[in-house]
Amino acid sequence: MDIGSVDVRDTCDDVEGTERAPARETSGREAVAGEALGESSARETEFGVKGSSVRGATTETVRGPVTAAVRGSATGGTRALATEAVHAGRDDLARQGLHAVPIDLSTTYPSYDSRGEAARIDAFATDGAEPEGPPVYGRLGNPTVARFETALARLEGTESAVAFASGMAALSAVLLVRNAMGLRHVVAVRPLYGCSDHLLTAGLLGSEVTWVDPAGIADALRPDTGLVLVESPANPTLAELDLRAIAHACGSVPLLADNTFATPVLQRPAEHGARLVLHSATKYLGGHGDVMAGVVACDEEFAGRLRQVRFATGGVLHPLAGYLLLRGLSTLPVRVRAASSNAAELARRLAADPRVARVHYPRLGGAMIAFELHGDPHEVIAAVRLITPAVSLGSVDTLIQHPASISHRIVDADDRRHSGVSDRLLRLSVGLEDVEDLWRDLDGALGRG
């Protein structure tokens, strides 16, 4: 199984599905008895869906992806994803007499061969390939960051990965690469992370965007289209898309899939035709709320262009952040599985709660929940005590926020509502606390409705 899927039901069995599986939304108890039992949503398309249903509970989730194989490991064979998460980027340590990853904080490096160094810099300027031999300068690359890039590429199943100072820096670099080729037009599907939406809409980097439903991607392509951008599951509605069908509709235009919510534990978009896989590594890859970073997993040709943009613009990742990210990857499958189990149980309880109008939880599973209230969402934000009201997601602790006020406030109100981000929607990033403690806090914050 290449992609895990969880549709939370009455039984405690794991349910495997695919991206094409129609997802549904629950609207209190009535929807659980109707649409959530399997009736198709009117908003579905052949490319994907606009939400997902929740019914019942499961005590074990996403078992498949955690044990999924990663082909072509550095050891010459096939290793499980959980094993790769621990060892990728570290395979040479034992031979060096090391166990922990060294942190190289150098900004510059000595070179007594100035002709050779000049040649390596010229080679980098030509194709962006990582310079052979010793490092040159921190803006060209860093050995500690390179370890993280190697590991993330292994987990996503791509040739390369290029890390940046933030997720927005990573997306900006992709747009600049395509703009430099005269391909300024972007086709995008809402919802996206609010700042991604704003970056495209505002044209800050000279890009022009056409917003479409998934079924309209092929018709929206133009000779100057340089990119198709989607996010699945989407922020914040958790809408899921059929990435394989979308990649087919893109033709020769690169598909960029934002995989921040799912992580390579739950899906690997490159296996479904995405040429570029974007992560806000600040979230699950780091996993502890103490590092900011972005990364693009891709083929080596595109990686070379991204390195050139990173060198020119200076959006480099600090070595300490690279170290923390590599350390975070080693526990990524365990964290995603545990948080997903908590999220599935909370989603089940919310779906049965009369104070909740609708719950969005992806078939893919995962640790993110979105739910719409009958009452005032701001009162819930003000009333939580164990759960932290804060932006961001993917940490070991549980966070809650009101997207219309915070992460997606920058998006035009009509566009926001049209893409499913209602004013009563709350987004919950479920952490590793005991689920009973989380429910006690959430139940109390919901009040009497």
Q: Which residues are catalytic?
A: 139, 193, 258, 283
Pairing of strands 388-389, 255-258: unpaired
Cβ neighbourhood burial of 433 (10 Å; 0-12, 13-18, 19+)? middle
Beta carbons within 8 Å of 281's beta carbon, 6+ residues apart? 152, 163, 167, 291, 293, 294, 295, 325
